[in-house]
Amino acid sequence: MATLVVGSVAYDTIETPFGKAERILGGSASYISVAASFFGPVRLVAVVGSDFGEQQFAAFRGRPIDLDGLERADGQTFHWQGKYSSDLNSRETIRTDLNVFERFRPKIPASYRRSEHVFLGNIDPTLQREVLDQVERPRLVACDTMNFWISGQPEALRKTLARVDTLLINDGEARELSGEWNLVKAARAIRAMGPRTLIVKKGEHGVLMFLEDGTFAAPAYPLEEVFDPTGAGDTFAGGFMGYLDSCGRLDDESLRRAVVMGSTLASFAVEAFGLDRLLRLTRPEIDARFSLFKRLTHFEAL
Amino acid sequence: MATLVVGSVAYDTIETPFGKAERILGGSASYISVAASFFGPVRLVAVVGSDFGEQQFAAFRGRPIDLDGLERADGQTFHWQGKYSSDLNSRETIRTDLNVFERFRPKIPASYRRSEHVFLGNIDPTLQREVLDQVERPRLVACDTMNFWISGQPEALRKTLARVDTLLINDGEARELSGEWNLVKAARAIRAMGPRTLIVKKGEHGVLMFLEDGTFAAPAYPLEEVFDPTGAGDTFAGGFMGYLDSCGRLDDESLRRAVVMGSTLASFAVEAFGLDRLLRLTRPEIDARFSLFKRLTHFEAL
């Protein structure tokens, strides 16, 4: 099987209390693809500029990440610059240069059209729908979005959500999208818009997944050192999608394990700047931390 | 066995977006005692004024709550008035009338001195220590505190913590007490002050327990309707202590189940004003929700 990932590939300039990293590889699709590639083949759809160099491509090479859908356009690559607060719990966007990403219209190569699993990264909901128009009946369509589209493109977003199986957003976005503060009520309202499964990411407080038949809660792994939270949510999505692709099932138990796998990958991502930790991560390390999650949450029935 | 509970018994006036309740029974020791009484005998130590009526006593009667240590002093009972924000996530104290609680010095009746489990509610740390001076080698001493004592009585609090097995505080208090933002680092610093076990309460985000041999994370139960968060943390403490008293063990597995039992009780407490829900709660309801917690957090190993 394979996971099709559509999103941004970018240069990030990141400032945290621990230092600054300039123009390192970032973007949602980069994190999602690298995280998912630990589990199976990934098909990347994104755009970069002519300034995107061999060094950046190197991050994807040597992994099962198909780059046929990585368009190279004239101009500069998307660049984002952000600065984190001293507690890493909030961040300020210093600068967003959309560059070639501004005119990105995802073109799905013929070789990608039969992808079983599709992840629509956080882009214009109309473009997300254009992706779905170009693929053949995937088993799973998952999707991310953000406040910018929730408030700016509500109609387009509704049309996209009607075609999505699983929505992954953060708690603030779930509240804005539903107009409900209470997350249980928010989940009911959002699931009525289309997605059978809603995953609400709460950062250091973990994840809530609302399913057809119940709710699953997973904590974030309690880390002593967090260096850079950038990409944690995207890495979660990548681990989630990759695990589902590798296990081949979409039942309740598989979705639960996929959430923990997403949390596992995310817990590594924040241990170093950008993609650094993911790029030197190994499958045995992943499996060991998944087991720690099991122990972290374990208790016996009465 | 039995659990000795020291703390406040009070009148609360509570305003939430859903209504106002005037001068209803409250106070940390009330919530803790009622919650713990589902599991075994409780010995209450607190003070009330001459205005404390038969109706209030009724809440404790018919439960295994020993009132020999409930002192009746001349004057008015402690009264607290608070108002919650529209999302229930913050509250403002409108009024605190300490009244007879201002001069409270816990006197432990002879019949209480061999209590195996002692919970020191959130009172002056010097008074907490005076309680310990009056009891004979309990198996477990657990304790709560708050910012007021952390900043106002740091030396006295340190002396108390050196004699405490388990500290239950919220995340903000853990950060203030340790001077560490990161909760893993905060836990290490606090455990070095005495408590072998630290339980950090994060409200709607659940609980982290830091043990000798690891960490346990439990979510809060996702509720669709929260009417009144007053006493949720105290109810957690009561469920935690009561369960440990009933199971008779203090090993890692028992502590984990006790945390889930505390979370279970707290999830009921917030469903109605004050103690209302706890006072009509039944043991089968408790056990059923404990099972829902098991399902809420369940995932299979890889």
User: B125-172, pLDDT tens digit by residue?
Assistant: 999 999 999 999 999 999 999 999 999 999 999 999 999 999 999 999
Q: Which residues of A touch B218 (CB under 8 A)?
A: 297, 299
Question: Could you give the percent of chain B with pLDDT greater than 90?
Answer: 95
Q: Does the beta-carbon distance from B217 to A215 stay under 8 Å?
A: no
ipTM over the 0.90 cut-off: yes
Q: pLDDT tens digits for A218-266? A: 999 999 999 999 999 999 999 999 999 999 999 999 999 999 999 999 9
The pTM of this model reads 0.96
Q: Which of B184, B219, B301 sits opposite A219 (nearest CB)?
A: B219
CA distance to partner chain A, nearest, from residue B95 (Å): 28
Region A196-217 average pLDDT: 96
Q: Indicate whether A66 pLDDT > 90.
A: yes
Residue of B nearest to A182 (CA): B224
Q: Indicate whether A117 pLDDT > 90.
A: yes
Q: Which of B182, B290, B295 sits opposite A302 (nearest CB)?
A: B290
CA distance to partner chain B, nearest, from residue A253 (Å): 7
Q: Indicate whether A89 pLDDT > 90.
A: no
Compute the distance between CA of residue B259 and CA of residue B280 in angstroms, rounded to an integer: 22
Per-residue b or e along B52-85, where b marks 16 or more CB atoms closer than 10 Å to that residue's CB: beeebeebbeeebbbbebbbebebbbbbbbbbbe
Region A167-190 average pLDDT: 97
Q: pLDDT tens digits for B178-226? A: 999 999 999 999 999 999 999 999 999 999 999 988 999 999 999 999 9
Q: Which residues of B touch A226 (CB under 8 A)?
A: 182
**Closest to B231 (Cα-Cα) out of B64, B72, B73, B7:** B7
Compute the distance between CA of residue A189 and CA of residue A195 in angstroms, rounded to an integer: 10
Question: Could you give the percent of chain A with pLDDT greater than 70?
Answer: 100
Interface test with A, best of B181, B184, B264, B297 (most A CBs within 10 A): B297
Region A4-10 average pLDDT: 97
